[in-house]
Chain A
């Protein structure tokens, strides 16, 4: 069906100015400060009168992203705010109205614009400002906002049950899963990534506000320090165990692999060009790990801690980080160097029917627990074409035998169908709801 452009009431109130225009000269200094904190690679000075990549918005609309949503193969930003919502309205039109508002608000925020006016008119002094304001004077910071729909949305509330893709099959219970229902599942998720945490938080906060009465926050998660690189230009980052994570991740440049392993082209039409996301809140037993000897630490990842080079290369040399893992290599006594129960062996595509994931996870530290130990770990995010053939077999084998399991616990889980990108006159998930 053809869709008219959103009407005024369905569109988020438009802020005419970008946050930086509004604040003019004062913002330049802030951009420099933010750039210094964000790590040099993606935000290198473009040489254009001091403008950095923080000022360059990531394009939001499908037309500019080969039909996909931004925030999947986009170079992984440094900061995450992820939120899961339960839909509380029974009115499908109200839900659609919110998705329309969200889509236009997300497009505006990606541009570095406000979600509406911040006290610029006389009358607005009597009412709260439309935009909450904490991102004023901050650059777009490569913000991407990505939406996903959880299996529970496809029950009988909104008549979507016959549109549920088979690939969106509930994840099985994996051995040793300790999932807490209140930080698992949800009807709709939003992943906001940016180089500035305040920009990511602003995005989620304003969408939450626009959704009041329609959706209810089920849980949210802040993440910092991307643990995966999604392009070859990015250096491999480290997880909180101190190891380079995602050396062998799928990268945007591997166009054929991305096409085959990330983007959906089967199942219901509304998901074509989309991708399935799995999220897992993985608590790490940091204090336990920190008193683990280096040999065991390195054996688990089968890599040298410093360089990330495979142990099978025999030398802790950064130039060898991307060398092939030699699973057949034998060490002293004829035992395999990469042990049978090492994380790397169990997760590797060679041992999982070629299954690959585009990982996009983040570290988290949510303060400490009542015992004084860090509540920290990895908020695992992975995109894929079909979880039944990718995440599920990999995690099944990891959950069963990975030595790493002594040091981690999966406490939260989510599975999401992320639709293709919205075109400029569409809203997120329009093909699903129409």
Chain B
């Protein structure tokens, strides 16, 4: 995992606090922005109720500390967040919320559980009413289910091989199992607690954090060449995967999440700390598998949205299609058999081609969300 995790979760518009702008930028199906006044000790949310659909919060930080604002569903699932709201600043969070009970939270100092409050959403969300959007979301949910099923199977095979000390077999399974994860990574990242345990990179750990999950075992396989100590880590990985798969399969996705997820997956590739940095699979060098899976996952989300986009903006869709072709070609040329070259075999020119193609693609995928509210 990298640190890119904002796009699927919410559309957070970092609007500069210009009164004239803010007043005319409310979302259509929300009654109006809900004012949130955050201080270092309080989190006043102007109303505790909203109708299902896009809910807009306008957060003003009147405290001295930098703050964050979150909307959580049951089990602290993050529905939306805005980070880094400096003192005196005003930020907007637009989040699509189906009917249900939620919690809002301000986090002065960006630490801890935050100052919580109840928040209730009633009625039906717009995209439940819109058959095109509903169909897109359901189609993608099916895709996700297919991936999670394979993720479970392949992770089990991987874990078994690790525990049996079959190092070569485990090495071969590592990038395969991860592909299923990487295709749906933004969905997995909704579950903020499990994602780092499963997919955290060693460099991202803070002092005192335990190194667990795929990348811990990767290090054992490629660096230590010894998995004898990996039994508990492997068991925990399997348990975490089973838990997150259960949660993913229970999650209702909406079309806006698909559109944002398609771009978030491309960010996973091309951001400076993304797969292109070669930091994801630093021990194994199997980054290209992950990178290809991110691209496939992004395409799957667009595929689910295809009927909607075809109807609403066929020009944009054909531009997205063309740019997928180009991006796929930059990665496909590094295919070897069923897999990919090791990352260190790529030249800087190869990497530049990938970044260029993926950046060009996401300039277009980032416009898809704008078609869903029409």
Contact = CB atoms under 8 A, between A and B. Distances in A.
Chain A complexes with chain B: yes
A123 interface: yes
B352 A124 contact: no
B94 interface: yes
B25 A121 contact: yes
A371 interface: no
Contacts of A209: 363
B16 interface: yes
B370 interface: yes
A213 interface: yes
Given A216-B352, A216-B356, A128 B21 contact: no
Q: What's the interface size class on B, roughly?
A: 20 to 34
A190 B315 CA distance: 29
Given A119-B15, A209-B363, A216-B352, A126 B372 contact: yes
Contacts of A124: 25, 370
A118 B367 CA distance: 14
Contacts of B374: 123
Contacts of B359: 212
Given A136-B16, A212-B360, A213-B360, A126 B11 contact: yes
Interface string B345-372: 0000000100011011101101101101
B199 interface: no
Nearest to A94: B322
A88 interface: yes
Interface residues of A, number: 21
Nearest to A9: B315
A130 to B, nearest CB: 10
Given A23-B18, A120-B21, A125 B27 contact: yes
B366 A122 contact: no
Contacts of B296: none
Given A123-B374, A127-B370, A88 B25 contact: no
Contacts of A125: 11, 13, 25, 27, 92, 94
Interface string A122-141: 11111110000100100000
Interface string B280-315: 000000000000000000000000000000000001
Contacts of A136: 16
28 contacts: A9-B315, A22-B18, A23-B18, A88-B356, A119-B13, A122-B24, A122-B26, A122-B28, A123-B28, A123-B373, A124-B25, A125-B25, A125-B92, A125-B94, A126-B11, A126-B370, A126-B372, A126-B373, A127-B370, A136-B16, A209-B363, A212-B359, A212-B363, A213-B357, A213-B360, A213-B361, A213-B363, A216-B356
Given A119-B13, A124-B370, A213-B363, 8 more contacts: A119-B15, A120-B24, A121-B25, A123-B373, A125-B94, A126-B11, A126-B372, A213-B323
